[in-house]
Structure 1
Amino acid sequence: MADWNDTKQRTNWSSVPRAGDAVARRETYDAGLRSYMLSIYNYMASGVLLTGIVALLTAQSGLAVTFATGPLMWLVALSPLAIVFAMSFGMNKFSKTALQAMYWGFAFLMGLSLSTIFLVYTGASIAATFFATAGAFAGLSLFGYTTKKDLSAFGTFLIMGVVGLIIASIVNMFMQSTGLALAISFLGVLIFAGLTAYDTQKLKRIYDQVRGTEFMGKVVIMGALNLYLDFINMFLFLLRFMGNSRG
């Protein structure tokens, strides 16, 4: 029978997994995930900040009135939508630099478009709604990041809800129903609250697929765009409840 020394010599100890290696790999993974998510949040928050500054300055300059009526209204309203579609469907074709430029352009144009809310609501109520939305967004995104529950099952339902909101909003443009408008606003807050948690969890899971690849930079920008849209839509629907009319 071979003695302990012979066994020791024949054993390749470098191939034996060690607990310390697993811990180190986990710490590296967690650090990478935090950096990835922080980059998304930084892009998203910077985009919202740019939109807010542009909206406020445009309203104070008096230019918001020109974006509330006439041809410029449609140009400013539809341009951000066109950029979103271009980024979503052309993500693989555009470079990271191009996506960055489109994202900042989108945030700027959204600022011009949202400047018109200062014509309808008081500045104090807009600010209160913004901070309420920021608090809700932070809580919902944290839930999406930390929960062990799989939220993917809600994805299809929430997206169908967005389609339903769009259809209902178009219908109400002709009906002008106050009751339907309130129902749309209430559902809008709930749907985009759900999407905030869902999108956060989805972005967290995507990290496994893109880490260490050149594609990750694009995913960061597109992830920021998704969270930006969740935030802005939740803000606008909530503003219909919390906003105090200037009239």
Structure 2
Amino acid sequence: MADFNTIRAGAETRTAQIDEGLRAHMNKVYGTMSVGLLVTALAAWAIGTSDQLVMAVFGTPLKWLVMFAPLIMVFAFGAMINRLSAAGAQLFFYAFSAVMGISISYIFVVFTGVSIVQTFLITSAAFAGLSLWGYTTKKDISGWGSFLIMGVIGLVIASVVNIFLQSPAMMFAISAIGVLIFAALTAYDTQKIKTDYIQHAHAMDEEWLAKSAIMGALNLYLDFINLFMFLLQFLGNRE
């Protein structure tokens, strides 16, 4: 009995340590993501509210680099993450956040400031609810991954095509599907971050955990930004 009690006490202690570590890990993920969103917001506001800067960025061929730079950086980040230190990965994430802010700064020209703020608040509430559900649900939603990734690839291709077609109907369809896909991805990515931590918690590799938190922050950041941009197509009041 004494041995059993010792084993049980040890297991309970280990579980408590994992739970405490998981909370710290998730706080790191959400904190890093929040700083990234702040950097994006400041960069977008600084460019989008200046007529001179808007013309310098979007009135020249530079706009093509600005539009596709975030996509290129995401792929580069995925390829480089294993070679980067945790500090380097975090710096890269913040640089990416700034570039993303520049690339979406046109929203301050297209939409009213009030509708941008309102959409941001709605996105924040929706994101919080979806992420909380993904974190607390007992349902295994890992099977959604392949389907959602295919959906994202389809959205990217359709969005690039529509840059040249400029079809309102196609834009409406892309936005509607985009909201659904990134809403589901928010829950999926949150559960995946939690599951990955629990599976690797026994190793307690601080460098891995730090980089894992940054990658988790990047995934949730992308879910938030895309959800916001697609919702803005429906809720934004145009200038």
Asked if TM exceeds 0.5, the reply is yes
**1:127 correspondence with 2:120:** no
Instruction: Summarize the Cα distance change of 1:171–1:54 in structure 2 as closer, same or farther, 3 Å threshold.
Output: closer
Instruction: Summarize the Cα distance change of 1:177–1:112 in structure 2 as closer, same or farther, 3 Å threshold.
Output: closer
Separation in 2, partners of 1:168, 1:60: 29
**1:56 correspondence with 2:45:** yes
Partner residue in 2 for 1:157 = 147
Partner residue in 2 for 1:6 = none
Instruction: Summarize the Cα distance change of 1:77–1:168 in structure 2 as closer, same or farther, 3 Å threshold.
Output: closer
Aligned length: 235
Q: Deviation of residue 150 (structure 1)?
A: 0.7
Give a deviation string over 1:167-214, Cα, whole Å, max 9, x none: 222333343322221111000000000000000000101102433112
What are the equivalent positions in structure 2 for 1:1-247 lying under 5 Å apart? 13=2, 16-17=5-6, 19-62=8-51, 63-211=53-201, 212-213=204-205, 214-246=207-239
Q: Deviation of residue 70 (structure 1)?
A: 1.2
Q: Deviation of residue 49 (structure 1)?
A: 1.0
Task: Name stretches of at least 5 consecutive residues in structure 1 with no aligned partner.
Answer: 1-10
Aligned partner letter, 1:60: T
Does the 8 Å contact 1:67/1:116 carry over to 2?
no
Worse overlay, 235-244 or 91-100: 91-100
Instruction: Summarize the Cα distance change of 1:77–1:177 in structure 2 as closer, same or farther, 3 Å threshold.
Output: closer
Q: Secondary structure at the match of 1:118?
A: helix
Worse overlay, 54-63 or 234-243: 54-63
Does the 8 Å contact 2:33/2:220 carry over to 1?
yes
Q: Secondary structure at the match of 1:215?
A: helix
Separation in 2, partners of 1:150, 1:209: 15
Instruction: Summarize the Cα distance change of 1:176–1:57 in structure 2 as closer, same or farther, 3 Å threshold.
Output: closer
Give a deviation string over 1:7-34, Cα, whole Å, max 9, x none: xxxx9x4675354433322221111000
Larger radius of gyration: 1
Worse overlay, 230-239 or 63-72: 63-72
Q: Secondary structure at the match of 2:138?
A: coil
Q: Secondary structure at the match of 1:34?
A: helix
**TM-score (normalised: structure 2):** 0.92
Worse overlay, 132-141 or 55-64: 55-64
Give a deviation string over 1:138-157, Cα, whole Å, max 9, x none: 00000000001111111111
Instruction: Summarize the Cα distance change of 1:80–1:200 in structure 2 as closer, same or farther, 3 Å threshold.
Output: same
Q: Deviation of residue 59 (structure 1)?
A: 2.3
Aligned partner letter, 2:89: L
Separation in 1, partners of 2:37, 2:100: 9
